[in-house]
Amino acid sequence: MMSTAGAEMCYYQFRAIPEIFVDYAEKASIDPMFRATTLPSLGIIERKYPTDDQVAFGYSKPWARLKTYVEHLNEQESGQTSYKILYITRHGLGYHNVFEAEVGREAWNSHWSHLPGSGKITWEDAHLIEEGIQQAKDLGQTYADAFAVDHLPIPKSIYTSPLARCLETTKLVFEPGLRQQGAEFRPYIKECLRERLTDHTCDKRSSKSWIAQNYAQYILEPSFSEEDGLWNAERWESDSEHVARKQRLLEDIFESDQNDFVALVTHSYAISAILEVVNLGHFRMREGSSIALLIRGEKLEKGAQAQV
């Protein structure tokens, strides 16, 4: 499904389609302290679509009508443009989140974040704390209910960051609901979905062997290395480098994945970078929360370059 290592990437321009879901960016512009949380039915807006007359009788709920509309959009395109619904989830609360809040951002950034842990807890490739586990379980129940009651389409592809907090979140959020729907749970691990790369040890991933042993159901990219070759204790990834990495991520998914409904499990700053790629206003998300976006990806002429 995914392109192989070294494959030539296409250039795309991505745009989030407005007036489909609640405008979180507008809420953030009004309240600087706003954090997006999971809304009922993932915040879909009750509205009409040009394809409403094509929806099967008895399936007139908003998600059933949106699904028909997205399928129609993709059927009408020549191949240069495609549309996908992205379910974007921020991982549950991790040990690094709690310790940073305890000592303060300045002490965290200047000292503690460079260590593997405090001696009592470890945050190198941080795992979920109990509260984070419960957040993910609660979100999993929300998805399971939405699949069964709201006709929320199940994600046919699930992509996750390789960091432990996202691997844990992915399993707790999506496996129960997919199992109830008789669907296979086989997430893809994507290096490009990682958090912005900093000198913080919480951004360093575990080995390929550890991931394969603990998450055997997950599919690793062919190029996935045994040890983390991206993290560097002496270097921070710039904002522009991070946004470019998320641009490559979406290009890879749009170019090689034909599914209309796709889930991404990732991190706070990674979500901010994705929002920039799809030209959506900035907002932050709480841990263990999900949003949905309808994204239009337009393949540009050869030699052109996307503006991100």
Q: How far is CA 178 from the centre of its chain?
A: 17
Q: Which of 91, 127, 200, 242 is flagged as catalytic? A: 91
Nearest to 269 by CA among 197, 204, 196, 205: 196
- Given the DSSP bridges, would you call strands 219-220 and 12-16 parallel, antiparallel or unpaired? unpaired
User: Nearest to residue 136, comparing CAs of 167, 173, 166?
Assistant: 173
Say if residues 5 and 222 touch (Cβ distance below 8 Å). Answer: yes
* Residue 4 neighbours by CB under 8 Å, 6+ apart: 222
For residues 280 and 250, give the distance between their C-alpha atoms in angstroms, rounded to a whole number: 15
Here the tokens at position 273 are 């970078």
Supply 16's token pair. 């989030």
Amino acid (one-letter) located at 117:
G
Active-site entry in 124, 195, 237, 251? 195
Active site annotation includes 8: no
127 in active site: no
Instruction: Give the 3-state secondary structure of residue 308.
Output: coil
Q: How far apart are CA 174 and CA 86, in angstroms?
A: 14
Distances 21 to 73, 110, 260 between C-alpha atoms, Å:
17, 39, 16
Which active-site residues does the annotation give? 91, 195
